[in-house]
Copies of this chain bind each other. A is one copy, B any other.
């Protein structure tokens, strides 16, 4: 094995484009605050004002930043790109409709996730009561081990990768019920594999239960996960353990067929 100069011991981050990093530093900082001035940015990020200025100029010229009422903001170019990125996920349109259908049928919240960088990301969500699509949350991330759909997705990974992921996974508890032990997670995955559905009992949010299933492509590859969430007093017993799972398995099956033939 040849030595890799500059390798960090965890084996990541070699030879990166620094300028790109500083650029996203700025963007991400803008994303957190809302509306920051050049001086503030330079101060908090420890870059020279002139440096930040040049970056902001560039970002604004490219449409990624706007200078609205006395402060710099993240531009909607990110939304534009993000939306087309989402739309390219296989079966996204079909799944979105199904999510709304499920929400309406159950009266609970239904959602669709895909895996990215070891987390699951919300791609669609609908609430039953009024079929209002709640956008806040779209794009945000949850660790795989803290979501029913996450477990379902995880279970579909072929064996070598699965072990790998479990090993390199760091378990940061979200609630007092979040799984923190890889063996427990592994056990749950193995237990659910022939059933095909997975639970989440207050592991990501107190007082909230969920059931999730995976959606797979024709070659057995994972596309994403579908789940129904609701208050634990409403999602329990028969409803949680058989009624909703059946519904989800049916939906997944139908989706998988439709996606395969599209």
Contacts and interface: CB of A to CB of B under 8 A. Distances in A.
Interface of A: 12-17, 19-21, 23-24, 27-28, 31, 34, 54-55, 57-59, 61-64, 66, 69, 73-88, 93, 96-97, 100, 114, 116-117, 121, 123, 131-133, 135-136, 138-141, 221
A133 B133 contact: yes
Contacts of A84: 31, 74, 139
Contacts of A55: 17, 20
Given A58-B17, A62-B20, A100-B132, A79 B139 contact: yes
Nearest to A75: B116
A131 to B, nearest CB: 6
A59 B97 contact: no
B86 A16 contact: no
A81 B31 contact: yes
Contact of A97 (B24, B73, B132, B140): B132
Contact of A83 (B12, B14, B136): B136
Contacts of A34: 88
Q: How many copies of this chain does the complex contain?
A: 2
A75 to B, nearest CB: 6
B85 A31 contact: yes
Candidate in A20, A23, A27 with the most chain B CB atoms within 10 angstroms = A20
A100 B194 CA distance: 41
18 contacts: A16-B57, A17-B54, A21-B62, A34-B88, A73-B85, A74-B85, A78-B78, A78-B79, A79-B82, A79-B86, A79-B121, A79-B138, A80-B139, A81-B139, A82-B83, A82-B139, A86-B135, A87-B136
Candidate in A12, A55, A57, A62 with the most chain B CB atoms within 10 angstroms = A62
Given A20-B55, A20-B58, 4 more contacts: A21-B58, A24-B64, A69-B221, A80-B121
A86 B76 contact: yes
A255 to B, nearest CB: 17
B85 A76 contact: yes
B76 A121 contact: yes
Nearest to A55: B17
A87 B57 CA distance: 24
A231 to B, nearest CB: 22
